[in-house]
Amino acid sequence: MQQTKKFRLSLLRSAVAIPVGVVIYEVTAFGILLLVGYVFFPIFTNENMLDPVERDHAVVIIQVCGVTAGLIGAFVVAWVAGRAEVQHALAFGAIVTALAVLYPPENLGDWPLWGVISRLLLPIPVCWVGGYLRKIVRSRRKSRDRSPVLN
């Protein structure tokens, strides 16, 4: 009976991990973009988006925000899941990629080709890194907890 309860709890954590990660991803990406956009506001105006150099700068800023949010979101997904960190983070990366395909930005036609391709190729490796970082943190905590404390 104890094992069944533990199994149900792990399934519940797995089911909750991905939606929590998506919310964290969206809030983080939006928050970073708001902060960065406030600093770099002239780049995001429509007049500057016509200039290829300014447009590329804006796309780089957007990509950096997405990568940062992906790392944080994948780490949180792996933390909430509590097991199989990398697998949960990769599932989260697949969902982020699917969202990138289903909900492209309004001005995607104005984006450079490298921006469109990186938007589709970056989420899975970035989320793998986030899940792997969580796995490293967990393994270091376990090894630290096993070692005797010297006072």
**pLDDT above 60 for 150:** no
Average pLDDT of every residue of the chain: 80
Q: Give the pLDDT confidence score for residue 1 in this predicted structure.
A: 55
Round to whole Å and give the CA distance between 81 and 88.
Answer: 7
Q: How far, CA to CA in Å, does 151 sit from each of 45, 127, 143, 148?
A: 59, 39, 18, 10
Please tell me the least confidently modeled range out of 17-26, 53-62, 73-82, 110-119.
Answer: 53-62
Q: Give the pLDDT confidence score for residue 39 in this predicted structure.
A: 64
Q: Regarding predicted confidence, which is higher, 25 or 8?
A: 25
40-54 per-residue burial string, b: 16 or more CB within 10 A, e: under 16: eeebbeeeebeeeeb
This prediction's pTM: 0.78
pLDDT (tens digit per residue) in 44-67:
555 555 666 677 777 888 888 889
Query: How many other CB atoms are there within 10 angstroms of residue 69's CB atom?
Result: 23
pLDDT (tens digit per residue) in 67-95:
999 999 999 998 988 888 889 999 999 99
Q: Report which residue type is found at 46.
A: N
